[in-house]
Amino acid sequence: MNTSSISDNILDWYDNNKRDLPWRKPRSKEQSHYFTLVSEVMLQQTQVKTVIPYFKRFINEIPNMSILANINEKKLLKLWEGLGYYSRARNLKKIAKLISKNKNNLLPNSIIELKKLPGIGEYTSRAILALEFNEKVIPLDGNIERLIKRVLLIKNKKDLEKKNLMSKVNYFGFAIRQRDYVQALMELGALVCKPIEPLCHQCPITHNCNSFRKSDFTIKKKLKTNKIKYFKADIYFNNNKMLLIKNQKFKFLKNLLIFPMNEIKEYDFKTSIKKKTKIKMSNMDMKIIINKNNKMPNKEGRLINLKNANNKVIPSFTKKLLRLALSEK
């Protein structure tokens, strides 16, 4: 196997097919570090097409590390509204505070130091090392993971474990232009080696691909089973006003506004005739009864007028429950 020919072919393809993404257009080293940090954090568990408009708006409002370090948290979360996983936004501000103490506003070039930053794990630290310091590492995102599974036709359960995939990804080798090579691998997975119906006729490495050779494109995944939990959401709504409380129940919506909710038993959920919904979170599958009530209770909380809702930080989770409660179906 000649890894240099693999990297050369993939880079040639990338130079002719790469997408015009806003975080690939920095005007300085400092801006490059900032763009990479913001985009990589936004792209954690979020698709590129979703991130693009958020990134543009975020950079327009918060153009550098120093401003991010001192941004009002309410404004920060408002800019993040709709992306979900709000802890990412809070972590970005914490990182900016730490980094802005340096005169150059640059990220550390050590994986150990990068992992000390809030919310930065194995993948993001490796991505930063490759994209900003041209280090010969390959971060294992979903697109690159799919590439290596297909090229090597990985089906064995043990080989599918993350630590083993991390070692197998070195099959692709490295390149002098490592920052471009990593982005090329990501692009190839996103645009050509798609989860369903891969575009093999456009792929520059079909001659290296065992899946192509054997016409077997199914992707084996290590199945993750989320715990199912049942809740009743009390949607108090009257005269265009809704009662919301500050969330202390769920980590993924920490301190954000939600409707009062209580965990219930599976039997109570299944036997209820009220409107229901399902919301899949990263750590659990939520099954929720929508309990609409026009009578406001004597509960602590905040009355929010719908007319002023755009000025508040209200997560998509809360907005979805409200839409369901107000819909006729």
Number of C-beta neighbours around residue 257 at 10 A: 21
40 an active-site residue?
Answer: yes
Question: How buried is 51 (Cβ within 10 angstroms: 0-12 exposed, 13-18 middle, 19+ buried)?
Answer: buried
Can you tell me the distance from the alpha carbon of 179 to that of 181, in angstroms, rounded to the nearest whole number?
A: 5
Can you tell me the distance from the alpha carbon of 143 to that of 186, in angstroms, rounded to the nearest whole number?
A: 5
Can you tell me the distance from the alpha carbon of 127 to that of 40, in angstroms, rounded to the nearest whole number?
A: 8
Bridge pairing between strands 284-293 and 276-280: antiparallel
Residues paired with 276 in a beta bridge: 289
Q: What is the 3-state secondary structure (H, E, C) of 214-259?
A: HCCCCCCCCCCCCEEEEEEEEEEEECCEEEEEECCCCHHHCCCEEC
* Residue of 30, 40, 61, 266 marked catalytic: 40
Can you tell me the distance from the alpha carbon of 209 to that of 319, in angstroms, rounded to the nearest whole number?
A: 45
**Distance of alpha carbon 283 from its chain centroid, rounded?**
14
325, 238 in Cβ contact below 8 A?
Answer: no
Question: How buried is 151 (Cβ within 10 angstroms: 0-12 exposed, 13-18 middle, 19+ buried)?
Answer: buried
Main-chain phi, psi angles of 245, to 5 degrees: -125, 160
E strand spans, the chain: 227-238, 241-246, 257-258, 261-264, 276-280, 284-293, 302-305
Active site residues per annotation: 40
